[in-house]
Amino acid sequence: MDITLERYHGLGNDYLVYDPNKNELELNEENVKMLCNRNMGLGADGILEGPLMEEKQMAVRIWNPNGSIAEKSGNGVRIFAKYLKDAGYVQKKHYTMLTDGGEVEITYLNEEGSRLKVSMGKLSFWSDEIPVIGERRQVINEDMVFGRTLYPATCVSIGNPHCVIPMQEISEPLVCKIGRESERARYFPNHINTELMNVIDMNNIAIETYERGAGYTMANGTGACAAAGVAYKLGLTSNKVIVHMPGGELQVEIGDDWEAYMTGDVFYVAAVKLSSEFVEMLRAV
């Protein structure tokens, strides 16, 4: 049986959609790594597997390129919602989707389903919910050491964990340097995503992201929500900001109850049919 995956991207954060209802291949850590390999596979920042049915709701399983499972992905959720509309699974303008990091509410803002608003869930700064080691507290502006350098870090969960570090200057090399150390730092028992954040003004911030299990990415939806929440929590911005990333912009609004709302675009690229030889290699691992 032929195996076909759909390629999409959200602000340069690219995913492959694997629909188990149309293909016969059991994804696992090893064949996900093969598929995401940019030299010997298709190349991607991850794989979105679904739709899966859980509790009578459509769900998506989000694979990182290293074969681990991600609880939630802002770009991934928007991409998967676009696929559900493209494939005819969803006709409604508004519905709820399940992820391993909780429910997200999807609203299509145009007929094509390429622009979406997503209610991503509530932000939590509590250490046991992120998690961060130590006594229960809100992890706000704490000194943390990554690679022998001290940084002021604020940590937050939006169904997945984030460490946000405000800085005057941010860059890809710097976030990679810090992120390689912070991802598996002793503070974080489940590892963590890292965002370097520069506050431009009360309505604009810029971030660079190093993703847990993926490395450097051009854009990160949950990271954008996390950074916007941290900027608002620290009193640096209003509750509505545009988050600027190398791949593009997302609009993020933080509600009174710390619910994060994200608005942005996604793009369909191509359907990719795998060769029979490659499929056999995937089945063999």
272 within 8 A of 6, measured Cβ to Cβ: yes
The pLDDT score that the predictor gives to residue 101 is: 93
My answer on whether 248 and 270 are in the same domain is no
In this prediction, residue 106 has a pLDDT band, given cuts at 50, 70 and 90, of very high
Is 160 within any annotated ligand binding site?
Answer: yes
Per-residue model confidence as pLDDT tens digits over 51-94: 999 878 899 999 999 999 999 999 999 999 999 999 999 999 99
Q: Could you tell me if 77 and 172 lie in one domain?
A: no
Q: Is 113 annotated as a binding residue?
A: no
Mean pLDDT of the 184-212 span: 97
Q: Give mean pLDDT, residues 255-262.
A: 96
27 lies in the same domain as 98: yes
Can you give the pLDDT at residue 54?
Answer: 83
Question: Does the residue 138 lie in any domain?
Answer: yes
DSSP letter string over 193-213? Answer: EEEEEEEEETTEEEEEEEETT
Q: Does 247 belong to an annotated binding site? A: no
96 is in an annotated binding site: no
The mean pLDDT value for 216-221 works out to 94
Same-domain pairing of 162 and 95: no
- The response to whether 239 counts as a known ligand-binding position is no
Q: For residue 116, name the pLDDT band (cuts at 50, 70, 90).
A: very high
271 domain residue, yes or no: yes
Considering the domain architecture, whether residues 173 and 208 belong to the same structural domain is answered as yes
Cβ neighbours of residue 112 closer than 8 Å, sequence gap 6 or more: 85
Which residue carries 């503070």 as its tokens?
187
- Are 19 and 63 in the same domain? yes
67, 94: one domain: yes
Q: Are residues 206 and 276 in the same domain?
A: no
Cα–Cα distance list, 93 to 106, 178, 255 (Å): 8, 40, 22
Q: pLDDT-based confidence at 111, cuts 50/70/90?
A: very high
Lowest mean per-residue pLDDT among 26-35, 51-60, 126-135: 51-60
Whether 190 has a binding-site annotation, put simply, is no
Could you tell me the pLDDT band of residue 212, with boundaries at 50, 70 and 90? very high
Q: Does residue 213 form part of some domain?
A: yes
Query: What is the CATH classification number for the domain harbouring 25?
Result: 3.10.310.10
**Do 248 and 137 reside in the same domain of the chain?**
yes
So what's the pLDDT on residue 237?
98
Q: Is residue 107 part of a domain?
A: yes
Residues 70 and 132 occupy one common structural domain: no
| Rounded distance between C-alpha atoms, residue 170 and residue 190, angstroms | 25
198 annotated as a binding-site residue: no
Query: Which tokens sit at 116?
Result: 């979406």
**211 in a labelled binding site:** yes
Mean pLDDT of 128-133: 98
Structural domain range at position 15: 2-113+265-282
Residue 118 predicted with pLDDT over 80: yes
d(CA 188, CA 225): 20
Asked if pLDDT for residue 154 goes beyond 80, the answer is yes
Residue 255, pLDDT score: 97
Which among 28, 48, 27, 44 is positioned nearest to 36, based on CA atoms? 44
The end-to-end CA distance of the chain, in Å, is: 18
> Is residue 259 domain-resident?
no
Asked if residue 222 belongs to a known ligand binding site, the reply is: yes
Tell me the pLDDT tens digit for each residue of 19-29.
999 999 999 99
Asked if residue 25 belongs to a domain, the reply is: yes
Task: Report whether pLDDT(1) > 90.
Answer: no
Q: Is the pTM of this model over 0.95?
A: no
Number of domains in the chain: 2
For residue 258, being part of any structural domain is answered with: no
Helix (H) or strand (E) run with residue 178 in it: helix 172-182
Q: What pLDDT score does 162 carry?
A: 98
Q: Looking at residues 121-142, what average pLDDT do you find?
A: 98
Residue 235's CB is within 10 A of a number of other CB atoms, namely 6
Q: Supply the mean pLDDT for the chain.
A: 96
**Is residue 193 a known part of a binding site?**
yes
Whether residue 260 lies inside any domain: the answer is no
Query: What is the predicted pLDDT for the residue at 272?
Result: 97
Interatomic CA distance for residues 18 and 36, integer angstroms: 12
Q: Are residues 140 and 224 in the same domain?
A: yes
Residues 68 and 127 in one domain: no
In the chain, how many H helices and how many E strands? 5, 18
